[in-house]
Amino acid sequence: MSGEPDPTIRKFNPGLLQSDKEIKEQFVVRSHELGLVLEELRGNITSPSCQHILVVGPRGRGKTMLLARIAAELRIHGDFAGSLLPVRFMEESQEIFSLTDFWLETMFQLANEIDGDDAELAKELGDTRASLSLRWREQITEAQARAAVLNAADRLKTRLVLILENLQSLFRDAHDEFGWQLREVLQTESQIILLASATSRFRALDDVDEPFFEMFRIVGLEPLDTEECGRLWQVVSGRPATRREVRPLQILTGGNPRLLVMAAEFARHQSFRRLMSELVTVIDEHTEYFRGHLEILAKTERRVYVAIIDLWQPSSASEIAARARVDIRVASTMLGRLVERGAVIRQGRGRKRLYAAAEPLHSMYYKLRRERDKPAVVENLIRFMVACYEVGDLWELSGPLSVEVAESEALRRSFARALASRPPAGDGSVERTRNASALLNNGIAYMRRGDRAREIECYSELIERFDSLDELRSHVAIALSYKCMAQAESGLADEALSGCHRLERAIQSLSSDRKETGEEPWATWLRWRALAARSLALAVRSEHEASLQRFRAAYTAFPANNEVTIQEMLRLVVALVGAGAPPRELVDVLTGETCKSDGLFPLIVALHERAGSRVRAPREVEEVAADISRRFDEAAERIG
């Protein structure tokens, strides 16, 4: 084991008590935005007037980390050292209400910044600040404080990059004239560069009559993409992850670095599948974070925000007003404030404008807290995502539905009996069983790679070698079920139908041997697979009415209680759409049984969109549905 401690990733105060080297090592995303800001700052070094910069992004998007990384670069990179000096304010500048306060705080932070290199000037600044603070009632204080800061910049022979966070809050809370006074400073004092952040584009930026109109170069922080999430995950958890593993976490966190760090810290010594299955625990362990986010809101703001997270889908102002039980005008005002805070994001324009929580996990937190006895909506989504993205390698264990992968206790026990039963040792049966299991796993591995030809070869070899052995009839039947589906997906419809007929006879034979105990769950699973493969083979032959009839029968037999069977249903429906089955009619079948359709909601949303009808759903569901839609296109190209 390595003796090095795990890296300290700060979720809320990046850069606090960390060296520039540590910040640089942990900065693995936002490289593009870093380059944009540094390019602007480099241009300011010799320019007679300075371009000021505003980084915009909701809470948790990485604004603080980006600013800490920029400050580190200004201190250690030769292009900037000696020309630009970062002066970083605390994240919440709660002592600034006027321009005088602004200069006094600048003096305080500048003294801290230079104390190690120029202790004499740092002490002088501290003494001057203390003296001026006692005379805060005098109007001349602002001019003297400004002069002290500019004089220090002259003596240091550098321009000051004032790094100020949450500009929208500062502007809202400060005196009315503060914005215009600050604008005058930024336009006239070439020694001062403002590098600020804000949670959204607030009104003072976009209104021609407001002080910050066209004042800043704005750099927006978009949600992290899958690749960036993977890089951040590796830094925090200490291990790499595949794109397929990272994608559900990207969706659930909304590409929010702060939330991704929370999840990665929890899973540092656990598997992806364990993380997904225990996401409820992750949320519970950060209750104070989610609760604190609610408690900082004013009463009416909180009422409207709770309505948004309870609706858990992009909603109109009128829908939110109705859910919050407030007047539409009040709701609209509160929505504006919440957008400005960065707690809510706004989509569309005019009457089509919709609102949703900026951090997706807040809706899950609220659902789990409010509906303690009915958290199924969250659990169903997580289970579907585990199946959709094959988190945790569901299929690569001791068998296709082994004890480790099946959710249903009955199914686990049933398959343990079906696949692990052994005749007396000494007749070679143990070795034959091991070989049959190896061929099954090899075929499934080729299935996951999309190599249908070699997948079929593995199943065919197993069937040919072991079909005559009674103790391996279960293995042969399972291989037949996979072979039929693979043949149908490969366009070999006639061969698949012939195999389905053989599989159905095998199921009947296996079931008749156990009449005294009733049909085993694994036999029900095989029956569903036989109907599914027949449905797909008929769709490939363009016999869509007959295909839908078989699909209805398959859905009736479908055991919708675990991730493996959900994955199989997803695979079937994707292939059916690729073979030309009508999405609208597939939706009608899937929504016919509520107890099953609840667990397939992202698939149903994707089918609705494929049929040309828009269904509003939680953003997480919409993103999963978008991924499924891409699979529809791939299947159409492959099968069609």
pLDDT tens-place string over residues 400-437: 433 333 334 444 455 555 555 444 444 556 677 778 88
Query: What is the count of structural domains for the chain?
Result: 4
Q: Are residues 441 and 480 in the same domain?
A: yes
Range of the domain at 115: 20-220
CA distances from 38 to 126, 159, 161, 476, 571 (A): 30, 14, 12, 63, 47
Residue 47 to residue 60: CA distance in whole angstroms: 33
- Within 8 A by CB and 6+ apart from 444, the residues are 395, 396, 400, 455, 482
pLDDT value of residue 3: 47
Residue 513 has pLDDT above 70, yes or no: no
Distance from C-alpha of 296 to C-alpha of 55, rounded to nearest angstrom: 23
Phi, psi of 356, deg, nearest 5: -150, 160
pLDDT at 244 over 70: yes
Region 540-546: mean pLDDT is: 95
CATH of the domain at 340: 1.10.10.10
Q: Is residue 380 part of a domain?
A: no
Q: For position 160, what pLDDT does the model report?
A: 96
In a domain, 121, yes or no: yes
Tokens of 194: 């403002």
- Shared-domain flag, residues 258 and 406: no
Structure tokens, 566 = 């959900």
Q: What is the pLDDT of residues 462-506, one digit of tens each?
A: 999 988 887 788 888 989 999 999 999 999 999 999 999 999 998
Q: 85 pairs with which residues across the strands?
A: 160
Question: Taking 70 as the threshold, does the pLDDT of residue 524 lie above it?
Answer: yes
The three-state (H, E, C) secondary structure of 543-577, written as one string: CHHHHHHHHHHHHHHCCCCCHHHHHHHHHHHHHHH
Tell whether 505 and 369 lie within a shared domain: no
Question: Same structural domain for residues 197 and 180?
Answer: yes
- Among 264-268, 521-525, 544-548, the minimum mean pLDDT is found in 264-268
pLDDT over threshold 50, residue 194: yes
Radius of gyration of the chain (CA): 31
267, part of any domain = yes
Question: Does one domain contain both 305 and 281?
Answer: no
Q: What is the structure's pLDDT at 15?
A: 60
Residues 331 and 304 sit within 8 Å (Cβ to Cβ) = yes
Domain termination residue (choose one: 327, 342, 374): 374
- Residues 160 and 257 reside in one and the same domain: no
CATH number of the domain that residue 114 is part of: 3.40.50.300
Of residues 520, 516, 477, 524, the one with CA closest to residue 500: 477
Three-class secondary structure assignment of 228-240:
HHHHHHHHHHCCC
Are 76 and 212 found together in one domain?
A: yes
Query: Average pLDDT, stretch 20-49?
Result: 91
Under the banding of pLDDT at 50, 70 and 90, the label for residue 12 is low
Q: Which of 18-32, 386-400, 545-559 has the highest mean pLDDT?
A: 545-559
The whole-angstrom separation of Cα 507 and Cα 500 is: 10
In a domain, 446, yes or no: yes
Residues 547 and 420 in one domain: yes
Q: What is the pLDDT of residue 514?
A: 56
156 within domain boundaries: yes
Confidence of residue 393 (pLDDT cuts 50, 70, 90): very low
What tokens were used for 296? 């900082």
Same domain for 263 and 156: no
- Whether the Cβ atoms of residue 200 and residue 342 lie closer than 8 Å to each other: yes
**Domain termination site, one of 374, 395, 422:** 374
User: What's 578's domain CATH number?
Assistant: 1.25.40
Amino acid at 502: R
- This prediction's pTM: 0.80
- Per the domain annotation, does 57 fall within a domain? yes
What's residue 373's pLDDT?
47
* Averaged confidence pLDDT in the chain: 84
Integer Cα distance of 436 and 472 in angstroms: 8
Looking at the fold, whether 631 and 508 belong to one and the same domain comes out as: yes
Asked if 251 and 625 count as a contact pair (C-beta separation under 8 A), the reply is no
In a domain, 240, yes or no: yes
Chain centre distance of CA 270: 18
CA distance 461 to 30: 51
365 and 501 in a single domain? The answer is: no
The DSSP bridge partners found for residue 218 are: 54
203 & 253 share domain: no
- Mean pLDDT for the stretch of residues 334-349: 87
In a domain, 210, yes or no: yes
In this prediction, residue 5 carries a pLDDT of 47
Among 235, 267, 285, where does a domain finish?
285
Task: Give the 3-state secondary structure of residue 216.
Answer: strand
Q: Taking a C-beta distance cutoff of 8 angstroms, is the pair 210, 243 a contact?
A: no
CB 457 within 8 A of CB 439: no
